[in-house]
Amino acid sequence: MSSTFTIQPSRRVAGTMRVPGDKSISHRALMLGAIASGTTRIAGFLPGEDCLATLAAIRAMGVGVEQHDATTITVHGKGLHGLRAAATALDMGNSGTAMRLFMGLLAAQGFDSTLVGDESLSRRPMERVAVPLRLMGADVRTTDGKPPVHIAGQRRLQGIRYAMPVASAQLKSALLLAGLYADGETELTEPAISRDHTERMLISFGQPVSCKGLTVSLRGGGQLSGTDIQVPGDLSSAAFFVLAGCLAAEGELVIDNVGLNPTRTGILRILELMGAELQVEPAAGSGAEPVGRLIVRPSQLQGVRIPPELVPLAIDEFPMVFVAAALAHGETIVSGAAELRHKESDRISVMVAGLRALGIEVEELPDGARIQGGTFSGGTIDSRGDHRVAMSFAIGAARATAPVRILDTDNVATSFPGFVSQAAAVGLAIKAAPNG
């Protein structure tokens, strides 16, 4: 049995809210805390299913974890070489981030490991990470390029100089984690900027990292020291409500304590290009990760050609960009986003199908779409189990002319527990029910 969202049209979005902690930062805080020496205290942790899979994995490898409440965790680190073999395969659930980062972390351990995932994750490609890990000396075997992933232990890694084929924070982070264990220097150069949470957090744990333009490097052989991590609100989650505020006919929405890392704010820049009435107020002295407040007002969105340089800075938010484009005036062109075909679903084809189901004229492109703005009719959307697809259509459905049903929404809990209640609290007419 899977759950279904039903959304009625609504006009007003208003109030003050906070969104759950950043998923990317929560994953990394657990992993680095596990291999640090000493204690790491994490506040603002995201208790979504993806991050809980990472927590279960480090526990299975002998790391002591105290969960004081849903969002406050203490990790008793084992040091770089203190992990032990898990009794069974490590289940990453639906989390591509967890699986790819653990591939790097486990590549130099003294024991064998197997990483598995759910049906959706088991269809996602893993060779992009496996190939450079093998160049470093790791023994990583995928299953026809996909999970399960088998990692042999007791391999000595060597630092490499690697030109990454795509801008990918997951790939970069996996190789940096492996580089902690490698002899010599690991130097990675990206074709464009991607999220830099791993680099910032490694520095917080005491590991020197050099960042020069599109190149990042570190030397193996050091050690990490436990620290305190304050996880800000997830900008990817906040972005849904930024769009809700823009699409509303009336009201003002304030979102507090949002992470404003400049490698993540591409979605805000895209919405501003489309005409979003959006105010960003950075907070002073917020530590390694910039934090602030977003104030959103009803806006007249306009179609645009999405600048290619913003695509990797907003890749996770593109289902929401498709919805914004569908409800804007004029045409929007998305290109250079072929990576969307390798997410929790083929997000290009799933979004195109959903937009057409709601009456929008859209042309599917190999690396994006050409979307003619219009009005959502009522209808039924199959989210294909993709949490971001489900939430994006839920936000846009508030502007439909009739009710919208969104199927297969269970995985929303992977990244945004409490989404329905928070959406209802600021004015969306949304209900979740089992779909037996």
Count of alpha carbons within 13 Å of 416, Cβ hemisphere only?
Answer: 25
Q: Let me know: does 307 contact 333? Beta carbons within 8 Å.
A: no
Give the C-alpha separation, 312 to 423, whole Å: 27
Q: Are strands 368-372 and 331-334 parallel, antiparallel or unpaired?
A: antiparallel
Q: Let me know: does 418 contact 237? Beta carbons within 8 Å.
A: no
Structure tokens at 38: 């000493």
Give the C-alpha separation, 269 to 412, whole Å: 25
Structure tokens at 354: 């959903």
Side chain identity at residue 240, one-letter code = F
Q: Please provide residue 57's backbone torsions phi and psi, each rounded to the nearest 5 degrees.
A: -65, -45
Active-site choice (22, 50, 316, 410): 316
Give the C-alpha separation, 41 to 257, whole Å: 19
Helix 235-247, helix 266-273: angle, nearest 10: 20
Give the C-alpha separation, 211 to 365, whole Å: 35
Give the C-alpha separation, 311 to 150, whole Å: 32
Q: Residue 305 has what DSSP assignment?
A: B
Burial class (CB in 10 A: 0-12, 13-18, 19+), 213: exposed
Is 91 annotated in the active site? Answer: no
Within 10 Å of residue 210's Cβ, how many Cβ atoms?
Answer: 12
Give the C-alpha separation, 239 to 332, whole Å: 19
Q: List Cα–Cα distances, 327 to 192, 253, 308, 402, 406, in angstroms.
A: 29, 19, 21, 15, 18
Give the C-alpha separation, 13 to 247, whole Å: 9
Give the C-alpha separation, 41 to 62, whole Å: 17
Give the C-alpha separation, 240 to 291, whole Å: 18
Give the C-alpha separation, 340 to 343, whole Å: 6
Give the C-alpha separation, 316 to 247, whole Å: 20
Q: What is the set of active-site residues?
A: 316
